[in-house]
Amino acid sequence: MDNALISILGINVGQFEQETPVELITGGRFYKEDGRYVVEYNESELTGMDGTTTTFNIEPERVEMRRTGDVVAQMVFEKDRKHVSFTETPVGALTVGVCARKIAGDFDDSGGTLSLVYDIEVDHQKTGTNSIFVRVKGDVLC
């Protein structure tokens, strides 16, 4: 059951400083679990991950992004700390390393915003710097 309007803007800046933005506005779920806010939505063809659900677990100093479905991934963002994980896609598996430069979130029970800026490596090769901006409007599910 959707209870929130979620806007996600992702920007990838590749090796040649070329920006590639992707924006998705969709319905989704917004709730609290174990003292943290959770934002969950289904990806679409626009993001290239149709058939995948993305979940953000948001804590003050740490954000975890999980993907399940056609793409299976987990990315952990902690400022100035590198996390490496394994990602499975329909075309193969790879390792993804992220090191967060910026984590900023401001949430209450009626929504909020999340901003992540991070360096990303794919199979141990730096591929660029990504930014994710999430805006949530809706009342938290009890």
What's the CA gap between 60 and 42, in Å, rounded?
24
Q: Is residue 37 part of a domain?
A: yes
pLDDT digits (tens, 9 = 90+) for 97-129: 999 999 999 999 999 999 999 999 999 999 899
CB 127 within 8 A of CB 118: no
pLDDT at 45: 85
What is the per-residue DSSP string for 75-128? EEEBBTBEEEEEEEETTEEEEEEEEEEEEEEEEETTEEEEEEEEEEEETTEEEE
Query: What phi and psi values does residue 46 have, to the nearest 5 degrees?
Result: -55, -40
**Which range of residues forms the domain containing residue 124?**
4-137
Residue 140 pLDDT exceeds 80? yes
Total tally of structural domains belonging to the chain: 1
pLDDT at 18: 73
pLDDT at 26: 95
For 69, residues 6+ apart whose C-beta sits below 8 A from its C-beta are 43, 49, 51, 52, 53
pLDDT at 1: 76
CB-based burial, 75-93: b 16+ in 10 Å, e otherwise: bbbbeeeebeeebeeeeee
pLDDT at 15: 65
Q: Is residue 98 part of a domain?
A: yes
Q: Is residue 35 part of a domain?
A: yes
pTM of the model: 0.90
pLDDT digits (tens, 9 = 90+) for 14-66: 766 677 788 999 999 999 999 999 999 999 887 888 899 999 999 999 999 99
Q: Is residue 97 part of a domain?
A: yes
Q: Sign of dihedral through CA atoms 45, 57, 59, 119?
A: negative
Q: What is the CATH number of the domain that holds 16?
A: 2.40.128.20
Tokens representing 28? 């989704």
